[in-house]
Amino acid sequence: YNLGLVDTSRSSISRNVAGSRGGGIFNHGNVEIVNTTISSNIAVSRGGGLYNERQDSAVNPTIRPVQTVGTLYALNSTIAFNAAGAEGGGLFQEGSATYELGNTIVEKNTAASSPDLQGTVNSMGFNFIGDLDGTPAAALLQPSDIVAEATDGVTEAGLAPLSSGGPNGTWHHALNAGAYVIDRGSNTLYADETGAAVGNLINEFDQVRRPRQVEGDNDGTFNIDIGATEYFVSHPVAII
């Protein structure tokens, strides 16, 4: 439950349950996630992964200055396999609350309606979204965003099951070999948002502290992947 600022990197908000709304996070303030997974959370009502609430008079202004809307900023993150009984299995926004998403996966969430997200997106581009109730234009997506149900030949991002394996032990979804999102993120977007040098992304790290930029689809071009984790290619070395 957030009334202030949640600012998290290389982390996981996973495997939580809420009796009403906001299985992973019930947000009255600002949530900023980078290289982070929100997965396998459950809300009985709305917002399995995250519920963004309009504040209005919900907070006593003598305790904290009233902020009118909750906000979510997500860069190179994965929001998947969350569930809500009513709406917004992945994300639910109330009123004019906002999501700002870039290089992020939102898919495989479930709900009676709006399974992946309910509401509109302030898109930074290069997102992968599984299911929309409306059109990409109505959700205010960018041309670089991919909506699986609206794209011929695309069915899913290619996420492996939730696992805590990896260098830092956080719950995450690795990418399967051949995953659609491999090398489809934007190097420029990641560099601009994090302050990293676009030519030095090989020295940046994904959620589990593996290199953020790996040539994963054998096309000779080094682009980062969409989502919290980078596809990890392990080449055997012969010792003679």
pLDDT of residue 59: 53
pLDDT of residue 1: 80
3-state helix, strand, coil in the chain (%, to 5): 5, 30, 60
pLDDT of residue 238: 43
Please list the pLDDT of the chain residue by residue as tens digits (240 residues). 887 889 999 999 999 999 999 999 999 889 999 999 999 999 999 999 999 987 654 555 555 555 567 889 999 999 999 999 999 999 999 877 789 999 999 999 999 999 999 988 999 999 999 999 888 998 889 999 999 999 999 999 999 999 998 889 999 999 999 999 999 999 999 999 999 999 999 899 999 999 998 888 888 888 999 999 999 876 444 444
pLDDT of residue 235: 46
DSSP designation for 113: B
Tokens coding 46:
């709305």
Contacts 24+ apart (CB under 8 A), 221-225: 221/183, 222/183, 222/187, 223/183, 223/184, 223/185, 223/186, 223/187, 224/76, 224/103, 224/183, 224/185, 224/186, 224/187, 224/190, 225/175, 225/179, 225/181, 225/182, 225/183, 225/184, 225/185
